[in-house]
Amino acid sequence: MRKAEEVELNQEKSHLIRFLFCFFGVWSACLDERMVAPIAFWLDFC
């Protein structure tokens, strides 16, 4: 595999991981009203 393709693949993986973190962060915040402050953090993170 060429180096450029490897870098591209790693970038796609990190985007996916970031999306999953945001999704689960927002989802768990919605389940727990006490986690209102972290919602702002998660939206910033996204």
31 part of a folded domain: yes
Q: Which domain holds residue 24?
A: 19-46
> In this structure, is residue 28 part of a structural domain?
yes
Q: Residue 27: its pLDDT value, please?
A: 76
The reported pLDDT for the residue numbered 11 is 87
Average pLDDT, integer, range 1-29:
83
> How many residues in the chain?
46
- CA dist., res. 7 & res. 14, Å (int): 11
Number of structural domains the chain divides into? 1
Distance between CA 24 and CA 8 in Å, rounded?
Answer: 25
**Residue 41 covered by a domain:** yes
Give me the mean pLDDT over the 6-15 stretch: 88
How do residues 16-45 score in pLDDT, each as one tens digit?
888 888 788 777 766 666 666 666 777 776
Assigned domain for 14 exists: no
pLDDT at 3 over 80: yes
Do the domain assignments include residue 2?
no
pTM, two decimals, is 0.44
CB burial string 11-27: b at 16+ within 10 A, e below: eeeeeeeeeeeeeebbe
